Amino acid sequence: MVCPYHGNYEKKMEIHQGLSFCMYEFKVVRQKTLELYEELNREYSEFRFVYSGRGFHIHVMDQEAVRMKKREREKLGEKWARKYPIDPWVTSGEMRLIRLPYSLHGMVSRICIPLSLGEIKSFDPRKDRKCFPSFLKNINKLRFLDKI
């Protein structure tokens, strides 16, 4: 995704803001997450949602999905990566750990929190204190590009 205010990932890395994101980017990711859920909901019925500190994870809990082979998950990840800002590598489940609820996302120091579908629609990571571990005393200094 290219932010009209902050550029693409490479530009953000250049200015040392690669892991940061603004509310414009967050709103796009939130909307795409809801659209992906609508698509998944046509085939599956049991879901869990987690905010990871950088975005949303949809856990499909149906037995059919749980039993998928790696190559099947890769194909789905490749298909959905064209329409939604997802990481196909995460979808394939090969090398990355799933963001479990209440675990700490070490790259951004945020607590991964479970959310309901309704909570996703109004969730604001700047204001939800459950996202911030206790060692982050002053949340005003967090790297969240809040210019929008």
Element (DSSP H or E) covering residue 113? strand 113-115
> Tens of pLDDT along 75-94?
888 888 888 888 777 777 65
| Residue 148: band (very low, low, confident or very high) from pLDDT cuts 50, 70, 90 | very low
Tokens of 139: 């949340």
pTM of the model: 0.80
Chain segment 29-72, per-residue pLDDT in tens: 999 999 999 999 999 999 999 998 888 989 999 999 989 988 89
> Residue 95: pLDDT band by 50, 70, 90 thresholds?
low
Q: Which distant-in-sequence residues (6+ apart) come within 8 Å of 16 by Cβ?
A: none
> Which pLDDT score, from 0 to 100, does residue 77 have?
83
Domains of the chain: 23-141 (3.90.920.10)
The answer on pLDDT for 3 being more than 60 is yes
131: nearest Cα among 111, 108, 103, 102: 111
Average pLDDT value for residue range 101-119: 88
